[in-house]
């Protein structure tokens, strides 16, 4: 028989909801794909639990129960490069990493710069293991020259615009994009890297690039790009979201802009708060090649500081699958990017929470309610009545990253062999278990 009042209960876990501002042991009840109740343990609740069938109960004792995690920066590679990832495999990877929602970037082939491509992605994403939100292009074919039909994109459901992978180099075009996007109240996401300064660069410009004789991508290219866009944002009053922030000066620029009241938000990726560029010379591992590049310790520490003081409100993976064949190449010829959906949570736990930079509540906020509010996604909270997107985390589970365990079609992770702590145990999307770890 089981419970009729509820469809499912998650029992005995520690519920953390950063939006509601609490963390306490509670049972979480689901009905009709919605959060129906959150109840502390009591004799009365125990009696209610007795009405459930075993199949309706997810035991979360010793685990954390949090809103389904949200990653606002992923590349799903479909259409165009289905050998590296498909929407289906990317969603499987998301679920395995504890993410119930992702926002995919438009640099597919063809680009997501038309209603047709937005629709294509949305159709392919139906009934998969994660929600897929679509970011449309700022400019046609991501060429930085003419605005894409942003109104059309938004009408079809695009949640933001970005030319990710490319910086909108022309300041006049960027200004128009910001002004135009304001009509639709969507954020403009920018890959902030002045391409004239970074042209031909392969790795962070530092003593490491000097030592290895590899052309540098200077930090100042990001700083200038961020400062320019903040200035444009100041005059347009639009919403600017700086993607994958990676340098000390860029973080400082965003910090100051926020103090001034400019509407700028930002995200940081695990590789910019975990890794440093002295890793590259060890084995020329092409999985360490990424844009913006892995920086030095000072920049890494500044990104952490930005996460700690709230300057950086989102943690995103910049999940960028590339086939093993493409990555098995000379360092400067391999495509840039690394996968991240299945390691982000553990890297946050191991490198931010275990090192006492962030509490679980702070970390969860940056992966749930913050991105949800900036981009207008559902979920991000466990408030009664919200969609039942829930992640159950085994907070201290020790595991080793293994290439053959990825759900992603690609293997381009620099963390293979890393011993990490923390893992998604169960991922629930719309009240349905989409991932259940061992």
Q: Which residues are catalytic?
A: 318
Which of 331, 357, 399, 418: binder of another protein (CB under 8 A)? 331
Which H helix or E strand runs over 153? helix 150-156
As measured in angstroms, the least distance from the Cβ of 286 to another protein is: 9
Backbone torsions φ then ψ of 332, nearest 5 degrees:
-85, -5
Distance CA 183, CA 305 (A): 34
Q: Does 335 bind another protein (CB under 8 A)?
A: no
Distance CA 388, CA 381 (A): 9
Task: Name which of residues 279 to 298 contact another protein (CB under 8 A).
Answer: 283-284
Strands 432-436 and 99-104: unpaired
181's enclosing H/E stretch is helix 171-182
CB of 206 or CB of 381, closer to another protein: 206
DSSP assignment of 372-391 equals HHHHT-S-S---TTSB--EE
Q: Which of 282, 274, 276 is nearest to 212 (CA)?
A: 282
Q: Cα(131)–Cα(99) distance, rounded to whole angstroms?
A: 9
**Member of 210, 260, 355, 398 binding another protein (CB under 8 A):** 210
Task: Closer to another protein by CB, 164 or 205: give it.
Answer: 205
Subset of residues 255 to 284 that bind another protein, contact rule: CB under 8 A: 283-284
If one asks whether residue 209 binds another protein (CB under 8 A), the answer comes out as: yes
Neighbours of 210 (CB within 10 A): 10
Instruction: For residues 271 and 280, give the distance between their C-alpha atoms in angstroms, rounded to a whole number.
Output: 13
Q: Round to the nearest angstrom and report the end-to-end CA distance of the chain.
A: 28
Q: Taking CB under 8 A as the rule, does residue 213 contact another protein?
A: yes
Q: Smallest gap, in angstroms, from Cβ of residue 333 to another protein?
A: 6
Residue 206 interacting with another protein (CB under 8 A): yes
Per CB under 8 A, 223 contacts another protein: no
Parallel, antiparallel, or unpaired: how do β-strands 188-190 and 160-162 relate?
parallel
108 vs 204, beta carbon nearer another protein:
204
Nearest to 291 by CA among 311, 310, 271: 271
DSSP assignment letter at 216? E
Cβ atoms of 136 and 118 closer than 8 Å: yes
Q: Site size for another protein, by CB under 8 A? A: 20
Binding of residue 333 to another protein (CB under 8 A): yes
Write the binding mask 91 to 130 for another protein: x where contact by CB under 8 A, - elsewhere.
----------------------------------------
Nearer to another protein, 22 or 207 (CB): 207
Among 116, 145, 328, 383, binds another protein (CB under 8 A): 328
At closest approach, how far in Å is the CB of 223 from another protein?
15
Tell me which stretch binds another protein (CB under 8 A): 4-12, 162-170, 242-250, 321-329.
321-329
- Which CB sits closer to another protein, 336 or 433? 336
Residue 228 C-beta: closest distance to another protein, Å? 22
Q: Which of 37, 212, 262, 336 binds another protein (CB under 8 A)?
A: 212
384 binds another protein (CB under 8 A): no
Find the radius of gyration of the CA atoms of the chain. Answer: 21
Verify binding: residue 207, another protein, rule CB under 8 A. yes
Q: Which of 293, 431 has the CB closer to another protein?
A: 293
Using CA atoms, how far apart are residues 144 and 134, in angstroms rounded to an integer?
A: 19
Query: Least distance (Å) from another protein to the CB of residue 222?
Result: 15
Listing DSSP states for 309-337 in one string gives: HTS--EE---B----HHHHSS-TTTSPP-
Nearer to another protein, 11 or 208 (CB): 208
Give me the phi and psi of 375, to 5 degrees please.
-105, 0
Judged by the rule CB under 8 A, the positions of this chain that interact with another protein are 205-207, 209-214, 216, 218, 283-284, 325, 328-333
């Amino acid at each position: 028989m089981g419970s009729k009042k509820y469809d499912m209960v998650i029992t005995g876990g520690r519920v953390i909801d950063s939006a509601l501002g609490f963390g306490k042991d509670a049972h979480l009840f689901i009905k009709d794909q919605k959060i129906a109740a959150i109840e502390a343990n009591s004799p009365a609740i125990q009696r209610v639990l007795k009405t459930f069938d075993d199949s309706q109960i997810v035991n979360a004792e010793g685990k954390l129960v949090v809103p389904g995690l949200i990653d606002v920066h992923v590349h799903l590679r479909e259409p165009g490069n289905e050998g590296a990832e498909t929407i289906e495999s990317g969603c499987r990877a998301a679920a395995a990493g504890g993410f119930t929602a992702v926002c995919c970037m438009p640099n597919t082939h063809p680009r997501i710069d038309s209603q047709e491509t937005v629709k294509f992605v949305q159709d392919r994403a139906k009934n998969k293991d994660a929600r897929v939100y679509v970011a449309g292009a700022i400019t046609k074919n991501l060429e930085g020259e003419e605005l894409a039909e942003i109104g059309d994109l938004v009408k079809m459901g695009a949640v933001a615009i970005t030319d990710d992978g490319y910086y909108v180099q022309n300041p006049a075009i960027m200004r128009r994009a910001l002004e135009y996007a304001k009509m639709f109240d969507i954020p403009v996401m920018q890959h902030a890297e002045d391409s004239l300064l970074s042209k031909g660069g392969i790795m962070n410009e530092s003593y490491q690039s000097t030592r290895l004789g590899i052309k540098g991508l200077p930090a100042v290219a990001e700083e200038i790009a961020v400062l320019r866009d903040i200035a444009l944002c100041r005059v347009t009053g639009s919403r600017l979201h700086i993607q994958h922030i990676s340098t000390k000066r860029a973080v400082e620029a965003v910090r100051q802009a926020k103090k001034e009241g400019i509407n700028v938000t930002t995200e940081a990726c695990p590789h910019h708060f975990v890794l440093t560029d002295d890793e590259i010379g060890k084995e020329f591992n092409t999985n360490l090649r990424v844009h913006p590049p892995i920086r030095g310790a000072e920049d890494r520490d500044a990104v952490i500081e930005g996460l700690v003081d709230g300057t950086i409100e989102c943690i995103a993976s910049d999940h960028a699958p590339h086939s093993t064949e493409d990555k098995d190449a000379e360092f400067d010829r391999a495509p840039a990017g690394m996968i991240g959906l299945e390691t982000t949570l553990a890297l946050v736990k191991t490198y931010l929470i275990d090192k006492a930079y962030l509490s679980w509540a702070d970390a969860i906020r940056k992966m749930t309610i913050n991105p949800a509010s900036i981009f207008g996604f559902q979920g991000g909270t466990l408030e009664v009545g919200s969609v039942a997107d829930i992640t159950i985390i085994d907070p201290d589970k020790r595991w080793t990253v293994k290439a053959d365990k990825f759900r992603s079609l690609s293997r381009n992770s620099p963390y293979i062999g890393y011993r990490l702590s923390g893992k998604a145990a169960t991922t629930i999307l719309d009240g349905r278990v989409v991932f259940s770890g061992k």
